[in-house]
Structure formats: C-alpha cells, structure tokens
Amino acid sequence: MKFVHVLNGPNLNLLGTREPATYGTLTLADIEARLTARCASEGIALSFRQSNHEGDLVGWIQEAGAKGEPVILNAGAYTHTSIAIYDAIRGSGAKVIEVHLSNVHAREDFRHHSTISAVAAGVILGFGALSYDLALDALISQSKTTKS
C-alpha cells in the first residue's frame, strides 16, 4: 500500500468543540497530524479530506476505487442515510474501512443502522480518535500480509 485516503463527512470539521463528551477534544487537524506522521513512518502517502457535502464524498470514493487505493471513511450522519455513498463504494470497488468516534450502538436508535457497513471491508467504532489509528493499523497489517 502506497496511498491511503481518509474521508470525513458532515460536521466533523467541528471536532474539538462539538459535543466533546461524545466526540472528544481532538480536532480533525489533530487526527490528520497523527495519521500523517504514522503514514510517513510507513512510507505511505495520505490524502485527508472533509466535506459537509455528500457529492464530494461520493466523488472521492470513486477516485480512490478507480486507483485501487484504500479509504478510511467517517461518513458522519451520511452513514445512516446515504445510498449514494453505498453505491459509490460498491460501484467503484473501493476498499473502505468505516470508522466512528462514538459507539453508535450505545446512542440514539436511528444511529444503529449503517448503509455503509454492508459494503465496507470492516467497521471500527467507539474508540474516539483512536478509531482512525486502528483503521490505519488494519490497512497496514493487511497490506503486509498480502505481500507475504
């Protein structure tokens, strides 16, 4: 693996100030800095993006899928509603690890269903910002396993 995309959906630009009891106090920039350092130590290029617009996420997923590059995706609220993101993952063949900062199953009922999980390679949730690190660890580990 030479490249990984980290894609973040709506309201994740508010991390650090939005409901810190639920989402923690780290900002998206803090998470990006941590992942950038880890990727650099592994010789991996990182694309880290955030958008409040569903179409941006769809386009970025399609780009990654066309290049055969993996995606760590926190789709935010689109997790529970977006058939378009589901179709982008399935249609492009993108390898996606779905992440969530909070344990969505311990929250409101409407957050218990993910339209993305069925087409994701895996799901990591409930570990705060560490969820991103765990997803990156999984991609790195799988990459090393497939080379052996």
Active site residues: 23, 100
CB atoms within 10 A of CB 38: 16
Inter-residue contact 120 to 99 (CB < 8 Å): no
Which residue from 20, 24, 29, 23 is spatially nearest to 48, judged by alpha carbons?
29
CB atoms within 10 A of CB 144: 11
Instruction: Tokens for 117, please give them.
Output: 């999980």
8-state DSSP, 16: T
Alpha helices in 16-82 (DSSP H): 20-23, 28-42, 54-67
